[in-house]
Structure 1
């Protein structure tokens, strides 16, 4: 198969390396500093799923879509959520050279943007709950994985053949992946997890595990869970849990311990003075709460605090 990976940071580079090792054609759209490094050193992925390595010559390395000439079975968008619209617009310029476009990003609202450019039939979404970190020149470490990648079509109907084919290919490349009927259900589950941990961990500057060991932070996380669950229900969405209390049981006993040592991606963005994905995570809950007339005071406060801190360093 032919793959385009647009916005190849840690996630995109890792998947690109794994797919290329399996014999697929992979073109990466990445930043110039990454291109220069990968041309010289190639790509190595280590950690949770084993070791994978590919030479720079085995990958298509580009800083712009204008440089590419291939047609693609799948274009995977792995940018930050705030770049979804610009990424989709760029890929749309390829017209018939792309069969399916897949949002593999954090947060909610990304699939809807991709649909605006490509329509429902060509759009897929994916939920990734694996930790990827660039640990050196041409080196990506997979630090943790809480579950398989989920991939599916925007409409909850039946498993899309395109999603099933992509899931099989990614699994064979080394990262467990499965096709699901309702990708929004999976994305809402991740939204619960991310909103509970990411902003609070970023503002306090700690890894996830510490948040679960303190009575005060547990109380804040419980309020986030209650508010996020209420918004998901208000949107007509569903998750694997009947109510927020049932989610809390699973969250504290299973989900949090698995990723206790993980540092929030939002914290890493803050440390590097980069924009955060606040608007696709807790900011999304706050916005939807206002539209649905559902009170989300804790999410509103945390979103405002993250935006304040972000504005300070971006100035």
Structure 2
């Protein structure tokens, strides 16, 4: 099994090590300092579950698509930030001769609708999406640390394609120590993650606080309530479903369980802004706004939050 991992952050390194541990041939597309670190040190997965370490001889690293061998990959794992999807999808299309005839793309990213960029060039039966709520961090450029585990990785299709061909991938990830399952309802689980991320990530970044602090202020709590209410309206109007019947049912578990369990966490959006790099707001709040406007749903609070993040980004 030959897999190309595009995106050499914490998730990409973690999944690459997981698949290597099960005998897959892994190539990682990386750049600059990260490519150098992997070429010198190999890769490592540590933290929760089994620890794995592989030498530089056991993993291929490519810095350009031109150097990748032709007719090689059965699977492509997209583990980059969502801001790279437009470029990655175009490059994969241009260099599709590196892919086997019956290849599959699996998108392991935040947000909703990230398959759209790839569906411009590839058939819907080739493009799948994963829900990842396992926590990965990258203490060094070649190391992925599993820090949090609450539920299995889930792989499915937003285009309602049968994911059963991906069972070997799910089984290998599970055998590496991280539970992974296939689902016919990946949209429900991605919307569940969207509700959590959209309510917390941008607001925590704007106010420069952790998740828990947002729930202790009546004004930020009002904003989160409005964001959640609007997203439920969008889900219903767009013909999607999630795991809760209504916004109040979700808010009950959000404030009593989900946020307390991650009280001290700072969002990836917060981290991006601190590093002065573009955030993934377009695939989070931006997607809510896109679907809201398409279905004539009031998403005024989400628009304000989106515009504030964009205003901050404009200085980067």
- TM-score, L = length of structure 1: 0.94
Query: Are residues 1:285 and 2:269 paired?
Result: no
Aligned residue in 2 for 1:89: 90
Aligned residue in 2 for 1:107: 111
Gaps of 5+ in 2: none
Aligned residue in 2 for 1:175: 178
Query: Are residues 1:300 and 2:303 paired?
Result: yes
Query: Are residues 1:32 and 2:25 paired?
Result: no
Aligned residue in 1 for 2:15: 15
Question: Is the contact between residue 153 and residue 163 of structure 1 (CA under 8 Å) also seen in structure 2?
Answer: no
Aligned residue in 2 for 1:254: 257
**Secondary structure of residue in 1 paired with 2:46:** strand
* Pairs within 5 Å for 1:3-82: 3-69=3-69, 71-82=72-83
- Counterpart CA distance in 2 for 1:154 and 1:297 is 26
Aligned residue in 2 for 1:218: 221
How many residue pairs get aligned? The number is 312
Task: Report Cα offsets for 1:262-295 as digits up to 9, x if no partner.
Answer: 2100111111111111111112212222222211
Quote how far apart the aligned CAs of 1:115 are: 1.9
Point out 4+ residue stretches in structure 1 off by more than 6 angstroms: none
- Counterpart CA distance in 1 for 2:97 and 2:122 is 9
The answer to which of 302-311 and 271-280 deviates more is: 271-280
- Counterpart CA distance in 1 for 2:75 and 2:35 is 21
Task: Report Cα offsets for 1:188-237 as digits up to 9, x if no partner.
Answer: 11111110110011111122222223332222211111011111111100
**Secondary structure of residue in 2 paired with 1:178:** strand
- Counterpart CA distance in 1 for 2:168 and 2:41 is 31
Q: 2:212 aligns with which of 192, 209, 213?
A: 209
Quote how far apart the aligned CAs of 1:178 are: 0.7
Query: Are residues 1:134 and 2:138 paired?
Result: yes
Question: Is the contact between residue 125 and residue 183 of structure 1 (CA under 8 Å) also seen in structure 2?
Answer: yes
- Counterpart CA distance in 1 for 2:122 and 2:207 is 40
The answer to which of 201-210 and 46-55 deviates more is: 46-55
The answer to which of 126-135 and 191-200 deviates more is: 126-135
**Secondary structure of residue in 2 paired with 1:110:** coil
The CA RMSD measured in Å over matched residues stands at 1.7
Gaps of 5+ in 1: none
Question: Is the contact between residue 68 and residue 98 of structure 2 (CA under 8 Å) also seen in structure 1?
Answer: no
Aligned residue in 2 for 1:192: 195
- Counterpart CA distance in 1 for 2:84 and 2:142 is 23
Aligned residue in 1 for 2:241: 238
Question: Is the contact between residue 156 and residue 183 of structure 1 (CA under 8 Å) also seen in structure 2?
Answer: no
- TM-score, L = length of structure 2: 0.93
Quote how far apart the aligned CAs of 1:88 are: 1.6
- Counterpart CA distance in 1 for 2:47 and 2:216 is 27
- Counterpart CA distance in 1 for 2:276 and 2:133 is 24
- Counterpart CA distance in 2 for 1:23 and 1:48 is 21
